Structure 1
Amino acid sequence: MSLTMGIGPLAAANRNRLNADLSAAPAHLLYSHEAGKRVRGVVNGETVLDTERAVLLHETGLMPQWYVPRDDVRTDLLTPTDTSTHCPFKGDAAYWTLTVGDRTEVDAVWSYPDPLPAVPELAGLMAVYFDRLDAWLEEDEQVLGHPRDPFHRVDTRRSSRRVTVRVGGAVVAETDRAVALFETGLPVRWYLPREVFDVAGLSDSDTRTVCPYKGIATYQHLTVGGRRYEDLLWSYVPGLPEAQQVSGFVSVDDSSDDVQVEVSRA
Structure 2
Amino acid sequence: MPVPFPPAGYSEDVWRRVRLLFNGQFVVDANVPKLVWERPYTPVYYFQSSTVRPEYLTNKQPGDEADIYDLTVNGKTSPSAVRLVKTGDLKDYIKIEYNKVDAWFEEDERIFSHPKDPYKRIIVLQSSKKVQIEIDGVEVASTSRPKLLYETGLPGNASYYVIKLPNGDRKHGLAWWYKTAKIESAGIEGHIAFYDEKVDVRVDGVLNERPTTLWSSAESREFLQREYSWFLPIYDSYRHPVQRVDSLKYFIMRHYGGIYVDMDNGCLESLEPLRYYPAFTTDGGEGPLFINILGAAPHHPFYEYMTNNIWAYNLFYYPLPYLTVSYNSGRWFFTSMWEKYHDSVNRRNWNLVHSAGEGADQIHTSDAYNKDQLYRVAMESRRGAEPWVFWNEGAGLTWEQWDFSIFHWIGENAAKVIRITVAVTVGLSLLTSLLVWRCCCRGRKVKSNATGGFKSVAALLTPVLSPVLTPAKEKREFFIKKGHDMV
Shorter-chain TM range is 0.3 to 0.5
Bigger RCO of structures 1 and 2 (CA < 8 A, at least 6 apart):
1
Using structure 2 for the length normalisation, give the TM-score. 0.24
Bigger CA radius of gyration: 2
More helix by share: 2
